[in-house]
Amino acid sequence: MITCPNCSLRKLQAFKTLEPSRLAFIRKIKSAHLSLDAGADIVVPEQDSDEMYTLFSGWAFRYKELADGRRQILNFLLPGDLVGLQASMFNTPQHGIAALTEVQLCVLPRRKVWTVFETMPDLAFDITWLGAREESLIDHNLLAVGRMNARERVAALIIGLYKRSNALGLAKDGVFAFPLNQNHISDALGLSLAHTNKTLAYLRRIGMFTLEGGMMNLTNPRALQRMGQVFDAEFQQRPLI
Amino acid sequence: MITCPNCSLRKLQAFKTLEPSRLAFIRKIKSAHLSLDAGADIVVPEQDSDEMYTLFSGWAFRYKELADGRRQILNFLLPGDLVGLQASMFNTPQHGIAALTEVQLCVLPRRKVWTVFETMPDLAFDITWLGAREESLIDHNLLAVGRMNARERVAALIIGLYKRSNALGLAKDGVFAFPLNQNHISDALGLSLAHTNKTLAYLRRIGMFTLEGGMMNLTNPRALQRMGQVFDAEFQQRPLI
DNA sequence: CGCCTGTTTGAGAAGGCTCAACGGACGTGG
DNA sequence: CCACGTCCGTTGAGCCTTCTCAAACAGGCG
């Protein structure tokens, strides 16, 4: 059941207090729910979109493409993430967003974004904070793609997704759902498909993880974290204001 | 002279209207100016900062480093850009910001950011928009670093900086100030210094540009733009709200 | 003059790429 | 129930873009 009280946004420490008045307001501006199958387009590049979303359940990813088809995945979206903030701030989005799994979205009409800023400054602040948080994730991806070798990149990606899953209560004892295929991984890390496969095989061989049926099992999270140079501090909590 | 009316923010289409009341408000929350020499740290990673800035003049850059010293430049900051929005939204910044040239900054105390959201929703919206714009620039960098070869990356960087300079009125006939050295370029593009040098030499040899005394002269902007696959649409204007 | 920072150039190594083929799992239709 | 197509993961051979290491050069400054 899709209801605001159990929205993952609360797990991100955003929308902390949920007084009746805020709840009522949120309910009023939220125009609908939306369910999409895995693979569906949520935002299409260059195509105007009049909506912004919140990801209630499932995974999605943001990407850009070059004219000849080369694709770069910019970041992955997990429950509680804002979908299409950038798109809603510009006239035409310069990136695409697609569903990685089946997803449920809460729809916020673009015009209403302004209403939020006008009438609910703390909510507006939350939106800005979520935007800054996404940028921080992209920063880390850029560091990985620009300055890490293949092993380090893969390690950083896996650990990063694990930590985010964990913060949402979606991981247990190093085990969590991992819906990416090797194509997604290679496009996220700027590697070729073949080399991604070999790197994954290597990490598996040295006992870093097992992966079957879409479930990732980290068998040596310490070593993986060290290899990926991912620090807890990267995953920040909301500030006090 | 540092005055709000001639701030480059206006050239970005932000802070469009400048009525006396807004101007007075901005002046009130702006606590000081700050001048720093080239090379100075503006934000130090992991070190709490109580201030956010607006870049009035000069260039700066945001970067991240790995434990062993490998550095990735995330994006460059030009006049009118927000400096440290992310840092001000988190408790401790995960990136550093350094001055590339001599810079002049307008200081906005971190606590006042909340005041802006509370009392000036349109200004708050501008801040969020500037944040989304920065993210969009990083997106493009990530695409370049992840999926372009060395020539394409260098071309994309040069053209991107040219377009931004041009939008600020800082370029004329393909000529503009280019304060980066090859170390900055290589760290921004995820290339080694040696290969960056060879790539630049190649582009110069085929007549794409000349560079002397810190002035970049684009002698074949068309070809350079094609090589970098940079589109005008990447540099968006503010939406209508 | 000597030093420092930044640029240039070369030789050799290698990490990652391309191309190609194969295998397994799964779903569909005859 | 089997044949087939498709999607995804796996593996190998050879190549090439980019890296590393090293050295030398140019300009500015105390």
B72 Cβ neighbours under 8 A, 6+ residues apart: A142, A143, A146, A147, B63, B64, B65, B187, B188, B190
| B214 CA → D28 C1’, Å | 15
The one-letter amino acid at A175: V
The pLDDT, as a whole number, for residue B24 is 73
| pLDDT band, very low/low/confident/very high, at A3 (cuts 50, 70, 90) | confident
**pLDDT tens-digit readout, B72-115:** 999 999 999 999 898 888 878 889 999 999 999 999 998 889 99
| A200 CA → C24 C1’, Å | 18
Global pTM reads: 0.93
The mean pLDDT value for A70-96 works out to 92
**pLDDT tens-digit readout, A133-189:** 999 999 999 999 999 999 999 999 999 999 999 999 999 999 999 999 999 999 999
The mean pLDDT value for B206-227 works out to 96
A209 Cβ neighbours under 8 A, 6+ residues apart: A158, A203, A216, A217, A218, A219, A220, A224
Give the best residue of A139, A185, A230 to mutate against chain B (max B CB count within 10 A): A139
CB atoms within 10 A of CB B137: 18
Task: Work out whether the CA dihedral B135, B141, B145, B148 comes out positive or negative.
Answer: positive
Q: Which residues make beta-bridge pairs with B96? A: B63
Q: Which nucleotides of C are covered by protein (CB under 7 A)?
A: 6-11, 15-20
CB atoms within 10 A of CB A193: 13
A198 touches strand D (CB under 7 A): yes
**Residues of A with CB below 8 A from B124's CB?**
117, 121, 124-125, 128
| pLDDT score of B200 more than 80 | yes
A226 touches strand C (CB under 7 A): no
The pLDDT, as a whole number, for residue A4 is 74
**Residues of A with CB below 8 A from B136's CB?**
86, 90, 94-95
**Residues of B with CB below 8 A from A145's CB?**
142, 145-146, 190
User: In this structure, are residues B29 and B115 in contact, taking their beta carbons and an 8 Å threshold?
Assistant: yes
Q: Does the beta-carbon distance from A86 to B135 stay under 8 Å?
A: yes
Residue % of chain A over a pLDDT of 90: 68
| pLDDT score of A12 more than 80 | no
| pLDDT band, very low/low/confident/very high, at A9 (cuts 50, 70, 90) | confident
State phi, psi for B33 to the nearest 5 degrees.
-105, 165
The one-letter amino acid at A65: E
**pLDDT tens-digit readout, A25-64:** 777 777 678 999 999 999 999 888 888 999 999 999 999 9
Distance (Å, rounded) from C-alpha B141 to C-alpha A167? 28
| pLDDT band, very low/low/confident/very high, at B32 (cuts 50, 70, 90) | confident
Please provide the size of chain A in residues: 241
| pLDDT score of B19 more than 80 | no
The pLDDT, as a whole number, for residue B127 is 92
Instruction: Indicate the DSSP class of residue A236.
Output: P
The mean pLDDT value for A11-34 works out to 69
Tokens representing B14? 């932000």
CB atoms within 10 A of CB B201: 10
Task: Work out whether the CA dihedral B103, B106, B109, B113 comes out positive or negative.
Answer: negative
Which of A79, A75, A106 shows the shortest CA–CA distance to A180?
Answer: A75
A147 touches strand C (CB under 7 A): no
Domains of chain B: 4-141 (2.60.120.10), 148-234 (1.10.10.10)
User: In this structure, are residues A88 and A39 in contact, taking their beta carbons and an 8 Å threshold?
Assistant: no
The one-letter amino acid at B136: S
The pLDDT, as a whole number, for residue B47 is 87
A192 touches strand C (CB under 7 A): yes
The mean pLDDT value for B38-56 works out to 91
Taking all residues of chain A, what is their mean pLDDT, rounded to a whole number? Answer: 89
Higher pLDDT among residues B130 and B239, named by residue: B130
